[in-house]
């Protein structure tokens, strides 16, 4: 019996350790009580960034069991992942009411593009003017875009080209956009927030600015958990394993609660000895009376 109990305890401990390890490695985050953001890393564009916990986030490794996909109208997770890759989108985040979208996109910059942090003020200004000229007064069969404000904003040593854009599609839907654009470590990276039919509020702008301010550009080691196929398989394992872990935890706690302390064992032995003595006495009295 004792060896079965030891086996049960070892199995329970293994299951709990396994589930906790899997959850932590797959980006299922348990935010600290004093933390209002969650950190995300993207090795392809050498970026680490903090996103407010109030936003619901999707990355290129989003899995089909994500219950928030319906919130953004993504019926086909494979199609959604493909669209993110085609458009070089690494993160899309929305509030629960989907009042706006915060998006981070990036790709390799041209070989002739220098990191913005290395440019002289004059060269940076010239490049900024070219960027605004290209972004302004875009008009084609599907959309018309106009830059309504533009400036250079620095966060630490990193300059960003900031533009406010009003975009009107051919079905006359107006989208308001605020963009931060930079080139760092050979990658062009854009942070932007967009709202359908509603102008960008100060609150939205502050959220975007804080995300940009948190950005760190450094070499990020490629992780197997960035692979959507691995994430999909692992998500299925987690879905099946978590209920098992909860049951195992319940059994483990119940077992721990039932385990007697040395004092309880001594008291039990004393009770049994007293019971044995009482029965012996009753037997003798019965024999004498007989």
Residue 261 lies in a domain: no
The pLDDT of residue 287 is above 90: no
- Residue 126 covered by a domain: yes
**Beta carbons within 8 Å of 202's beta carbon, 6+ residues apart:** none
Domain, as residue range, for 122: 34-225
Residue 265 is assigned to a structural domain of this protein = no
Q: What is the pLDDT of residue 27?
A: 37
Q: In 3-state terms, what secondary structure has residue 25?
A: helix
How many domains does the structure of the chain reveal?
1
Q: What does residue 197 show for φ and ψ, rounded to 5 degrees?
A: 80, -5
At 193, which CATH number? Answer: 3.40.1000.10
User: Using 50, 70 and 90 to split pLDDT, how confident is the model at 23?
Assistant: very low
φ/ψ of 25, rounded to 5, equals -80, -25
- Cα atoms in the Cβ-side hemisphere of radius 13 Å centred on 155: 17
d(CA 107, CA 211): 19
Predicted local distance difference test score (pLDDT) of residue 245: 53
pLDDT tens-digit readout, 74-97: 878 888 888 999 999 999 999 999
Residue 237 placed within a domain: no
Helix (H, G, I), strand (E, B) or coil at 167: strand
Comparing CA positions, the residue from 136, 152, 153 lying closest to residue 144 is 136
pLDDT in tens, 36-77: 999 999 999 999 999 999 999 999 988 877 778 888 888 788
pLDDT band per the 50, 70, 90 thresholds, residue 2: very low
Q: Is residue 195 part of a domain?
A: yes
240-249: per-residue pLDDT in tens? 444 555 555 5
Q: 245 in a domain, yes or no?
A: no
- Of 52, 40, 81, 48, the residue nearest 64 (C-alpha): 81
């Amino acid at each position: 019996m004792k060896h079965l109990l030891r086996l049960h305890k070892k199995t329970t401990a293994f299951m709990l350790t396994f589930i906790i390890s899997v959850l932590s490695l797959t980006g299922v985050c348990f935010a600290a009580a004093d933390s209002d953001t969650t950190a995300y890393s993207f090795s392809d564009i050498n970026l680490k960034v903090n996103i407010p916990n109030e936003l619901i986030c999707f990355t290129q490794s989003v899995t089909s069991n994500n219950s928030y996909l319906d919130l953004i109208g993504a019926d086909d997770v494979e199609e959604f992942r493909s669209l993110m890759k085609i458009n070089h989108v690494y993160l899309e985040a929305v509030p629960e009411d989907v009042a706006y979208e915060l998006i981070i996109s990036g790709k390799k910059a041209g070989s002739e593009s220098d990191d913005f942090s290395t440019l002289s003020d004059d060269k940076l200004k010239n490049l900024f003017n070219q960027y605004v000229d290209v972004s302004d007064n875009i008009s084609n069969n599907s959309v018309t875009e106009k830059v309504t404000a533009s400036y250079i904003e620095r966060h630490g040593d990193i300059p960003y080209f900031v533009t406010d854009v009003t975009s009107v599609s051919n079905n006359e839907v107006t989208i308001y956009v605020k963009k931060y654009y930079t080139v760092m470590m050979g990658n062009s990276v854009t942070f932007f927030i967009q709202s359908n039919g509603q102008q960008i509020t100060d609150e939205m702008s502050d959220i975007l600015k804080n995300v940009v301010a948190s950005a760190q550009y450094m070499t990020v080691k490629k992780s197997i958990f960035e692979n959507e196929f691995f994430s999909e398989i692992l998500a299925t394992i987690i879905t099946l394993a978590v209920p098992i872990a909860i049951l195992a935890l319940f059994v483990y706690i119940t077992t721990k609660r039932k385990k007697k302390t040395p004092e309880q064992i001594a008291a039990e032995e004393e009770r049994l000895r007293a019971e044995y003595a009482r029965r012996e006495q009753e037997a003798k009295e019965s024999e004498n009376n007989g």
